[in-house]
Structure 1
Amino acid sequence: MSEPEAGRVRTAGMEPTYATAIALARVGFAALGLRLDVEGDERIPRDGPVLLAANHVSFLDFALVGLAARRSRRRVRFLARHDVWSSPAGAAMTAMRHVPVDPAAPAAAYLRARRLLLEGEAVGIFPEAGISTSYVVRGLMPGTAALAAQTGVPIHPVVIWGPQRIATAGRPVDLHRGRPITVRVGEPLPVLTGADPRTTTERLGAVLQRMLDEVQDRPEHRPRPDEPAGWHPAHLGGSAPAPELARSVERLPRSAVPPTWGTGARR
């Protein structure tokens, strides 16, 4: 990667569509009275390539991961399902330089993400390739690890917890105000050039699960003793489906690396 490419970053003033999307997200968060806690965002560099890898628990996760880059004034280019580009949001997704992922032909998305990193951009990926309905880290796609190994960019692990109580797969939308939301950025994971993607993916899964375990068990995120908690993982006393049951119904690509990392309760 050349110096000019590594240092190239787009400024906020050049991206009115992205600025509008951020403003709308802020209005939505304020309307919901979210109790947002963003931790570790000082770890995101202000320039040069950044590779963010986050767990996926809700339909709000894209906007929330974007908060992790707010302190460093970065615009995150997310990999997202290609069918979003067929919706009214398609033009905005293109303007914000997000990357469509076609599960039948993922190589194109990989190449675009690599190019963005080489241009010094921040790229955001949800390597679970879908929402985990058990709320533990499910099998991960190895593309994030492959990008890190090919470009030399470390992986910044990010965990999100709380928005699954508002809008997520298989549950009704709940617009009660004042939900606690935690977004936590971990220490960057260095990846050697040419490192085995599967081994790196297993390492990333273990880190994400450990971070998620710690956040999920915080007092503000625990359900009340008498509260039905389909939004909380089974191993912590919630009534979300157990990982084994969730895996039997979730659609996970064949190339996903199976979860070997377990949860804090099982280690």
Structure 2
Amino acid sequence: MAELVYKPVIRFALGFFKALDLKIDVRGQEHVPTTGGCVVIINHVSYLDFALVGIPFWRSHRRLVRFMAKHDVFSHPIAGPLMRGMRHIPVDRSSGSGSYHHAVAALRAGEFVGVFPESTLSRSFCLQPFKTGAARMAVEANVPVLPVAIWGSQRILAKGRPRNFRAARGTPVSIIVGEPIPPTELTPAAAGTKLLSDAVLKLLTDAQRDYPPPPPGESPWWLPAHLGGSAPASETAAREQAESRDKK
């Protein structure tokens, strides 16, 4: 099937990142499978993670990732048609079985399916507990899981922060692709999910360790508390998110 929407969107995104002069550092691109289906799991710190994480897959044999995203995005008058045109997978959290089976079918058809196992943006910029869906769908479709960590994207467009693309110019962004994890290592689902979380955490820790320090005089709001930043602690962020859900 011709990609009449996805490829132009990729070119636009790459042009946008170039205009922002982002310093994108990709490591581990050689781990991207050249053929077959694969579950791609990613930590989630920015609204731009979808677009940025796709870069190593596009560079590697022009592979495309069908991301699982909340159903509300598909209802947006602008984003909705684009998401459907790129054949991303809507997730209705009140009834997730349909999206799960949609993802498994895509994996069996040789697609890459992108999953944010934390199921939400992390305001603490720390890794949150993983849901078991990624491990379960990899086992059911008999495909590997590719762990990916992204860091620095929160400085460009983070949840709860004002949008300021001018200030984001020249921001370093690190993307690390880990080695594929075979489905045989992912059962039972709870143990498999712990294995996936540990794999992403290791990549994220490596990305944070090698990331450039904050410029002199800059308040490191984008660093988690345990790294000396002023982001809310994981417990505080989780409580605020729960309170926000309760108000809806």
Structure 1 length as normaliser, TM-score? Answer: 0.85
Secondary structure, aligned partner of 1:202: helix
Query: Structure 1's 195 and 235: CA in aligned 2 closer, same or farther, altered over 3 A?
Result: same
- 1:234 and 2:225 aligned: yes
- 1:188 and 2:169 aligned: no
1:102 maps to: 92
Letter in 1 for 2:225: A
1:6 maps to: none
Post-superposition offset of 1:223: 1.7
For structure 1, list consecutive stretches of 5 or more residues without a partner in the other structure: 1-9, 253-267
State the alpha-carbon separation in 1 of the partners of residues 211 and 197 from structure 2. Answer: 24
After superposing on structure 2, the runs of 4+ consecutive aligned residues of structure 1 that deviate more than 2 Å are 224-227
Kept in 2: contact 1:38–1:183 (CA 8 A): yes
State the alpha-carbon separation in 2 of the partners of residues 239 and 213 from structure 1. Answer: 18
Post-superposition offset of 1:68: 2.2
Aligned length: 239
Post-superposition offset of 1:75: 1.1
Deviations 1:53-90 (Å, cap 9, x if unpaired)?
00000010000111121112111101011011111221
State the alpha-carbon separation in 2 of the partners of residues 208 and 128 from structure 1. Answer: 11
Post-superposition offset of 1:108: 0.7
State the alpha-carbon separation in 2 of the partners of residues 224 and 63 from structure 1. Answer: 26
Letter in 1 for 2:175: V
For structure 2, list consecutive stretches of 5 or more residues without a partner in the other structure: 244-248
Query: Structure 1's 104 and 236: CA in aligned 2 closer, same or farther, altered over 3 A?
Result: same
Please point out which of 200, 207, 212 is paired with 1:215.
Answer: 207
Secondary structure, aligned partner of 1:250: helix
State the alpha-carbon separation in 2 of the partners of residues 157 and 43 from structure 1. Answer: 10
Kept in 1: contact 2:38–2:138 (CA 8 A): no
Kept in 2: contact 1:134–1:241 (CA 8 A): yes
Structure 2 length as normaliser, TM-score? Answer: 0.92
CA-atom RMSD in angstroms: 1.6
Post-superposition offset of 1:201: 0.9
2:105 maps to: 115
Post-superposition offset of 1:186: 0.5
State the alpha-carbon separation in 2 of the partners of residues 72 and 50 from structure 1. Answer: 14
- Percent sequence identity is 42
